[in-house]
Amino acid sequence: MKKLGWFTFFLILFASCLDDPDCYQLHNDIVGVTFRVIGTGKGDSVAVWSVDEKKFVQKPSFNYQLNYFVEEATIEFEGIDKTNFLSFGYTVKNQFISEDCGSAFVLSGLNIFEHDFDSARVINSTPSKGGGTNFEIYRCPETDIMTIDFNQLRANSDGVIINNKTSTYVSHQFDSITTDFSGIVFTGRGTTINLPVDTTKNETTFTFKTGETTHTLVVGYNLVTEQRYAPCGIQTFVNELAIKGNPTFDSISFGLNANDEPARTLEDPHIANLRIYDCPPTNLMQVNFRSNGAAKTVTIDSITADHFAGNLFKAYTNTTVTLPVDLSSTVSTFYIRYDNDATDTLRVEYTNTGLTLFDSCPDPVLNNLLESPDVSNINVISTSRTLKYPPVPNVEITVD
């Protein structure tokens, strides 16, 4: 089987309802199933339908209660497009416990009759009272999946010193991600995305499209075709990943494997082979609206600027707005038109420090923010004259 897919599990045979609650734990009628990947032996996780949550939830293992009035069971693993099964037997003996509890059923001798998984084995033949693993179910590794995660670079600066350089995972919306051999392979939002590579040649071109923005990434690699695991037959493995050409993302690097080395081999369970980074925007100025000393919600018909064509915002309602100043200049002018036809003109000056937060990020830090000319209802916050990311309040506008 190539992969398990999305699963919901049904136990065919349930235990007797005759148990006295005080004596329930006397029966060792629970079997545990754990999922793993052939080759590495690392734990896998599969999706099971949760009746309580009414959705699929990912789990690495499951417990099942046996019927101790028979000596065999079949567990069905029902997926969206495929159902797998595990049939097994066991021995049940009756053992007297006490006058109150009577007899307990002692189960042992678990043995697999039949299954249609890639591989399965018994690692503990005695069921438990509620914990442990009895069966391990293995699947063949996916050998053609490259994993990418997306990150946002961040750093603090006053325009002179840079500190606290870091990155955090970031979720991106994609209209489409396509490959040059199979068309669209992903749409939607993702932070970590698994993408197929072409195992018929030594490189794959990926195209990422969001709105009017398109990025291209070409990845080269080496292919090894061989049989490593008997249940899986001959497979093609991918190693020696290399980033080719000039990717159009802000920054890209290899992830690290368990040995803290560049993850140039495709693994399963998947690890991040590539990490794509977004540079922090350095030109975002946050404007807060206030009235009588408190935050004020305003409705804006439009915001225009000398350095932008068209509206920056239209039909916008909030207590704050973030505006991009002109990186190619040291002055920016914004025209804010409210729904009552009132207008504020916000003109600010600033210093281009020439300081960049990261080597791969060309935009400079902007500081010494000043209002020019001075307008009575507009105030630059004196303690916040450096533009930062994420944006912080830089300007306050008092509205009636």
| Domain spans of the chain, in order of start | 7-139, 145-278, 284-398
Question: Which DSSP letter does residue 360 get?
Answer: T
* All residues at 6 or more sequence positions from 174 whose CB lies less than 8 Å from its CB, including other chains: 186, 187, 188, 189, 190, 208, 209, 210
**pLDDT(305) > 60:** yes
Q: Report the pLDDT averaged over residues 379-393.
A: 96
CA nearest neighbour of 192 among 166, 174, 216: 174
**pLDDT(287) > 70:** yes
pLDDT of residue 68: 86
* Percentage of the chain exceeding pLDDT 70: 90
Computed over every residue of the chain, the mean pLDDT equals 90
User: Can you tell me whether residue 271 is helix, strand or coil?
Assistant: coil
Question: Which DSSP letter does residue 292 get?
Answer: T
pLDDT of residue 25: 64
What values do phi and psi take at 65, rounded to 5?
Answer: -95, 130
Tell me the pTM.
0.82
Number of C-beta neighbours around residue 173 at 10 A: 10
More confident residue, 191 or 373: 191
**pLDDT(377) > 90:** yes
Contact 63, 28 (CB under 8 A): no
Confidence of residue 77 (pLDDT cuts 50, 70, 90): confident
For strands 284-291 and 320-324, give the pairing: antiparallel
Burial of 20 (0-12, 13-18, 19+ CB in 10 A): exposed
Q: Report the pLDDT averaged over residues 72-98.
A: 85
- CA atoms of 81 and 106, how far apart (whole Å): 37
